[in-house]
Amino acid sequence: MTRARSLVWLLVTSAATMAAFWILLHQISAVWLDVALHPEVRAALERSLDDQKQLRALDPAQRENYRARFNETRRLLNRMEVIRLNREAMLRRFELALLGVFAIALLAAAVVTWRRHRRMQDASRREFLERVAALQETARRHAHEIKGPLTAARLELDRLGELARSGGDVAEAQESVAQELTRLARFTTEFSQFGGLGEPVLRRESLAALLDEFCATFANAWNGVTLRVTEPSHASVCADRDMIRQVLINLCTNAARAGAQSIAFTIGRNTVDVRDDGGGIAESLRARIFDPYVTTRKIGEGMGLGLSISRKILLDHGGDLVLAETSPSGTVFRLIFRELTC
């Protein structure tokens, strides 16, 4: 019903616009044509003919010149007469042609609008489906993360009960339950981080010092991955040291999981490039890499919140975190700090 009404409305407005255009066009065309064919113009030209004829009598020596001018004027009058005789047909034909062009333009605009509308509808549907699919994936991950430790703890508790009844050694089972509870705690910590990110406490920090300390502290954090600062610099930025460290940890963890052997930090004026020699990021993921819950890991191996948290931290600093480049031979993330006074 709504579509039918829209169509009727479109037709009525198009018809009204075309009618208005027609009237306007008729007025304009008629004015110009009538100016060209104005009786006063014709009368003046006819007087000019009479003048040439009189001049012929007064100055017979110039007779041929007067005749040439006479013929010229007469030809002009003839043309005007031909146009006058075709006035209505000309007006009608030109109006129809212009109206046709206008109608085609109107139709083209309608088609373009309709197609854009359809595209937007399709995009909206696709976006909705993607959102639902992402939520389904998230729910699956959540369920798996919680269900795994719970099931294991439950089994261990059963075993603990049997051991208690038989007088066996309960220490091992206790340790196992504790481990499962730790896994649950780690899972909730990730969410706490995501949900509970506070405002950064900004202090002027030397990027070189911050990165040197990070490299020293986390030198052995990721097996087989070497950390180094390639270009020492005196640049300093306003940053929350702990939060930036969290960002660097997230980036280095991802790089190590992508198979990187080396991670290099390059300091710019107010940037830090984190370059790894891992396998790069798949093209299909690049546009969504900073969205929450986007991950290549299997269910149970992480929630895909690390890059979201990292970018949020940099945005809270007034800067940004961007994917500068990525290829099968490595990836560069750029931390951009805004030049702030702190």
Residues lying near other proteins in the complex (CB under 8 A) are found at 49, 53, 67, 70-71, 74-75, 77-79, 81-83, 85-86, 89-90, 93-94, 97
Kindly write down the DSSP assignment for every residue of 21-35, as one continuous string.
Answer: HHHHHHHHHHHHHHH
The candidate with the shortest Cα–Cα distance to 332, out of 263, 230, 231, 258, is 263
Structure tokens at 269: 């004026």
Q: Looking at beta carbons only, is 86 or 121 nearer to other proteins? A: 86
Three-state DSSP class for residue 19: helix
Q: d(Cα 56, Cα 62) in Å, to the nearest integer? A: 7
Which residue from 180, 242, 178, 188 is spatially nearest to 210, judged by alpha carbons? 242
End-to-end CA distance of the chain: 61
**Of 262, 265, 256, 250, which is closest to residue 303 (Cα–Cα)?**
250
85 or 287: whose CB is closer to other proteins? 85
Q: How far is the CB of 74 from other proteins (least distance, A)?
A: 6
In angstroms, give the least distance from the CB of 14 to other proteins: 24
Q: How far is the CB of 104 from other proteins (least distance, A)?
A: 13
CB of 323 to other proteins, least distance (A): 52
Distance of CA 176 to the CA centre of its chain: 49
Give me the least distance between CB of 315 and other proteins, in Å please: 56
User: Which residue, 38 or 67, is less far from other proteins as judged by CB?
Assistant: 67
Quote the CA–CA distance of 174 and 182 in Å, as a whole number.
Answer: 12
- Please state the closest distance from residue 42 (CB atom) to other proteins, in A: 11
Q: Which of 90, 81, 83 is nearest to 45 (CA)?
A: 81
Nearer to other proteins, 45 or 294 (CB): 45
Among the listed residues 275, 249, 281, 273, the one whose alpha carbon sits nearest the alpha carbon of residue 262: 275
CB of 65 to other proteins, least distance (A): 13
CB-nearer residue toward other proteins: 82 or 171? 82
Of 49 and 215, which CB lies nearer to other proteins in the complex structure? Answer: 49
Residue in the block written with tokens 């929450």? 292
How far is residue 49's CA from residue 71's CA, in Å, rounded to a whole number?
9
Residue 10 or 103 with smaller CB distance to other proteins: 103
Q: Compare residues 97 and 201 and give the one whose CB is closer to other proteins.
A: 97
- What are the CB-based long-range contacts (under 8 Å, 24+) for 84-87? 84/37, 87/33, 87/37
Min dist. Cβ of residue 93 to other proteins (A) = 4
Which two three-digit tokens encode residue 197? Answer: 């990110």
Residues 70 and 47: their CA atoms lie apart, in Å, by 11
**Least Cβ distance, residue 43 to other proteins (angstroms):** 14
Give the C-alpha separation, 338 to 342, whole Å: 11
Identify which of residues 1 and 89 has a Cβ nearer to other proteins in the complex: 89
